[in-house]
Amino acid sequence: MFILKLQRLFTTNRSIEGPKFCSVASALQFRDDGGQTNHQIHEHNTSILSTQIQETPSMEPRFYVSALMNCKHLQQIKSIHAQLSVNGLLSDLLLINKLLYMYVRYNALDDAYSLFDKMPERNAASWSVMIGGFAKAGNYTNCFETFREYIKSGEHLDVYTLPSVIRVCRDRKDLKMGRLVHHIAHKFGLHMNTFVCVSLVDMYAKCGIIDDARKLFDIMPERDLTTWTVMIGACAASGNANESLVLFDQMRESGLVPDKVSMVTIVNACAKLGAMHKAKLIHDLIRTQYRSPDVILGTAMIDMYAKCGSIDTARQVFDEMPQRNVITWSTMISAYGYHGQGQKALELFPIMCKNKITPNKITFLSLLYACSHSGLVKDGLQIFSQMQDEYFINPDVKHYTCMVDLLGRAGRLNEAFTMIKNMKVEKDEGLWSAFLAACRVYNQVEMAQKAAESLLEINPHNPSHYIMLSNIYAKAAKWDDVAKIRVQMNGKNVKKTPGLTWVEAHNTFYKFSSGDRTHCESNAIYEKLERLIGKLKVNGYVPDTDFVLHDVSEEVKLGNLYAHSEKLAIAYGLMSVPKGNPIRVTKNLRVCGDCHTFIKVVSRVEGREIIVRDAKRFHHVMDGVCSCGDYW
C-alpha cells in the first residue's frame, strides 16, 4: 500500500525543485558510541547539569548545543529539553535538530518522534535524523512512512537521507522498494551522487541483482575507494570472485591506494576463488603497505591461504600475528578441519585457552567440524559435552549438524537419527542433508527416504536433495524409484547442478565440465587422458562404474566415467603445470569416489602433488595417499 502511495505521489507531484544540500546534516551523522555509565552517576550528573542551567539566567543557543553533546544519559537530555521549553527556545531549528539527534542517538525514538511531530519548522537535517533513526533501530515501517512524509512536504531531498532508506531496502532485500527509491533519486537528480550511487550499487548487489549493480557502477562519473570496494565485494558475494580480482587491478591502475577495508575485501574474494598466484601477489602488496596486518586483515589472510590450499602458509601468518582474537583462533582451527588435520585442530584448542581466549559458538563449531572430517568420534562427543557443561553454550542447529555428520560418517546412523529426534532446536536443510549423505554412504534406503521427505518439505526446489536420493536408489538398483525422482524434478522444473572443475595454470583458471570439448587444446587433452588411463590401469587403477548412476551398458558407463570434469582438469594440469609445482583443482560439487581413486593413482604414477578443493573439504594427494584418509 505504501509503495502505491509513493508511486502516486511521484506521478502527481512534479513541482518539486531540484536538490539543495543542508550543511547542518553533516553535523548530525549517527554515532555508535553508547556512552552508558552507572545509573547513580547519571542521576548525579543530571542534577548538576540541571542546576547549572537553571542558575544561568539567559542561555545562548550555543550553550545548549554544547550541553546536549555532553549528555551521558537520557534523563539529562530530557532535562535540557524542559529548559529549552521554559526559555522559549524550541523555535531554534539548529538547536532542536541537535536535541532530536540526541534522542535518536540514545534510541529514544518515541521522544524523538514526539519532538519531531511538534516541530513548527523542519529542514532536510530534521528529516534525515528522524528517518535515519528509524532505519538504525530497525523500525522499517516508520522509516518508510516518514520518508514518504518527507517527500510530500516539498522539502528538498538531500544526499544524507537517501542512503539510509536505501540501506533499509538492502537489509530487507526489498528490491521493489529499492527500485522505487532509485527512481526517486533519479527524479531529484541525485542518482549520480557518489553517496547515493554507492548505496544503490550495494543494495542491488545484496538483493542478488549484480548486473544492475555493475551497470550503475560502470556509468558513475566518479568512483572513490568506497565505491570500488563495494563493487569488488559484491562480485565476490555473487560468486564471481574472478571479476573481483579484475576490478581490484583496475582500481589500483586508476591511482587509488587500497586501505585495510578494501584489502580485507579482496583477500576474501581471493579466498572464494582459491587463486594461489593472486594470494601471493596480494600478500606482497600488504607487506609493502603494513609492517604487520591487524587482527581483521590477518584473520582474512589465514582464511585466504587455507582456502587456496596452503595450510602451512596459513599457519605461518597465524604465528606471525602480534595480536589474535577468538575469531582468529577459530579460523585457524576451522582451516585445519577442512584440510583433514583434525588432530592439529584439537591441539590448538588448549593453547588458545592458555592464552586466555574464551571460546565461543564458532570455536566449538570449528572443532566439531574438524572432528567430523577426521573421524574423531570420541573427541567430538567430548567437545560437544564440554561446550555445554563447562562453557554453558547451548548448541544450535549447526552444532547438531556437525554431530549428525560425525556419527553418520562413522556409520552410527541410529545414534544420529535419535539425536535428530531428541534435539530441541528447529531442524534445517543442512542437518537433514548431512544425515542423507550418511545414508548414501551406508546404503540405508529406508532412512534416506525419511531424510529426503523432511528435506523436500523444507525446500522442494533444491536439486541436490533429489539427486542424492536418486543416487541412493540407483546404487540399490531401484531404477523405478530413480525414474519417479526424475518425474518429480521435471514436474517442479528443478534442474540438476552441473559438475564443474577448475584447474589453476599459467596464472589463470581453466574450467571443465563433464565431456567438455570447448578448450582450444581439447584434442590434446583427450589424447593425454587416454594415454594416462592406460598407464594407470597397468598400475592398478580399476574404474568403479558403480559411480555412474544410470541404467546403461558397462561400455557407456566407462565412457561417462572417463569424461568426468575432474579427470579432464587434471589431464590439462599435467600438461600445463610445471613439475615440482602442485596441481590445484577446484570442484563445485563433492568429488566422486572413482575420481578420488583416479587422483590418488595419478599422484603416485606421475609423481605429482595434487590439491583438490571440493564442495566439502580439501584433499591433499601425494604418492597415492590422500589427506582425507578416504574418509570424506
pLDDT tens profile 440-456: 888 888 898 889 889 88
pLDDT computed for residue 416 by the predictor: 96
Q: What confidence tens digit (pLDDT) does each residue in 494-518 have?
A: 787 888 999 999 989 999 999 999 9
Q: Determine the pLDDT at residue 293.
A: 87
Which tens digits make up the pLDDT trace of 279-315?
Answer: 999 999 999 988 788 999 999 999 999 999 999 999 9
Asked whether the beta carbons of 223 and 213 are under 8 A apart, the reply is no
| Helix, strand, coil in percent for the chain, rounding step 5 | 65, 5, 30
For residue 336, the number of C-alpha atoms closer than 13 Å in the C-beta half-sphere is 23
Q: What pLDDT, on a 0 to 100 scale, did the predictor assign at position 310?
A: 95
Given pLDDT bands bounded at 50, 70 and 90, which one contains residue 626? very high
Assigned C-alpha cell, 579: 613439475
HEC per residue, 13-41: CCCCCCCCCCHHHHCCCCCCCCCCCCHHH
**What's the DSSP call for residue 423?**
-
pLDDT given at position 158: 84
> 374 with 342: CB under 8 angstroms?
yes
Compute the C-alpha angle 602/588/487, nearest 5°.
115
Grid coordinates of 482 = 530413480
Which pLDDT band, with edges at 50, 70 and 90, does 545 fall under?
A: low
CB atoms within 10 A of CB 29: 11
Please tell me the distance from the alpha carbon of residue 513 to that of residue 45, in angstroms, as a whole number: 70
What's the whole-number mean pLDDT along residues 594-614?
A: 94
Local structure of 620: helix, strand or coil = strand
One-letter amino acid at 253 equals E
Strand partners, 352: none
H or E stretch covering 561: helix 554-562
Nearest to 200 by CA among 213, 187, 188: 213
Overall average pLDDT of the 346-362 stretch: 96
Burial code (b: 16+ CB inside 10 Å, e: under 16) for 518-544 equals: eeeeeeebbebbeebbeebeeeebebb
pLDDT for residue 155: 82
When pLDDT is averaged across residues 128-148 and rounded to a whole number, the result is: 92
Place 250 in a pLDDT band, splitting at 50, 70 and 90: very high
pLDDT for the residue 563: 85
Q: What is the DSSP string of 66-83?
A: HHHHT--SHHHHHHHHHH
pLDDT digits (tens, 9 = 90+) for 198-242: 999 999 999 989 999 999 999 998 899 999 999 999 999 888 898
pLDDT at residue 14 is higher than 70: no
Mean pLDDT of 550-577: 76
DSSP, residue by residue, 98-110: HHHHHHHHTT-HH
Listed in sequence order, the residues at least 6 apart from 475 whose beta carbon sits closer than 8 Å to its beta carbon are: 440, 443, 546, 549
CB–CB of 568/486 below 8 Å? no
Per-residue confidence (pLDDT) for residue 559, from 0 to 100: 56
In terms of Cα–Cα distance, which of 92, 157, 167, 168 is closest to 128? 157
**C-beta atoms surrounding 362 within 10 Å:** 16
Q: Do residues 313 and 346 make contact, with C-beta atoms less than 8 angstroms apart?
A: no
Phi then psi for 587, rounded to 5 degrees?
-120, 135
Q: Choose between 16 and 58: higher pLDDT.
A: 58
Q: How confident is the model at residue 197 (pLDDT cuts 50, 70, 90)?
A: very high
Inter-CA distances, 542 with 208, 443, 593, 597, Å: 44, 22, 12, 9
CA 195-124-32 angle, to 5 degrees, is 60
The pLDDT, as a whole number, for residue 471 is: 78
Predicted confidence band of residue 476 (pLDDT cuts 50, 70, 90) = confident
Q: Please, what is the average pLDDT of the chain?
A: 86
Inform me whether the pLDDT recorded for 121 exceeds 50.
yes
Instruction: Please name the residues in contact with 593: beta carbons below 8 A apart, sequence gap of 6 or more.
Output: 544, 546, 547
Predicted local distance difference test score (pLDDT) of residue 31: 35
The yes-or-no verdict on residue 52 having pLDDT over 70 is no
Three-state SS at 192: coil
The average pLDDT across 340-348 equals 96
DSSP 294-358: -HHHHHHHHHHHHHTT-HHHHHHHHHH-S---HHHHHHHHHHHHHTT-HHHHHHHHHHHHHTTPP
Q: What is the mean pLDDT of residues 588-611?
A: 92
pLDDT above 70 covers a percentage of the chain that reads: 88
Q: Is the pTM of this model over 0.85?
A: no
**Closest by CA position to 526, among listed 544, 514, 537:** 514
> Looking at residues 61-69, what average pLDDT do you find?
81
- Statement: residue 169 has pLDDT above 70: yes
What are 439's three cell numbers?
A: 545414508
Model confidence at 546, pLDDT cuts 50, 70, 90, reads low
Instruction: Report CA dihedral (401, 402, 403, 408) to the nearest 10 degrees.
Output: 90
CA-based nearest residue to 437, from 452, 423, 427: 452
DSSP lists the bridge partners of residue 505 as 508
- pLDDT at residue 269 above 80? yes
- Would you list the DSSP string of 212-271? HHHHHHHH-S---HHHHHHHHHHHHHTT-HHHHHHHHHHHHHTTPPP-HHHHHHHHHHHH
pLDDT of residue 59: 58
| Position 268, amino acid | N
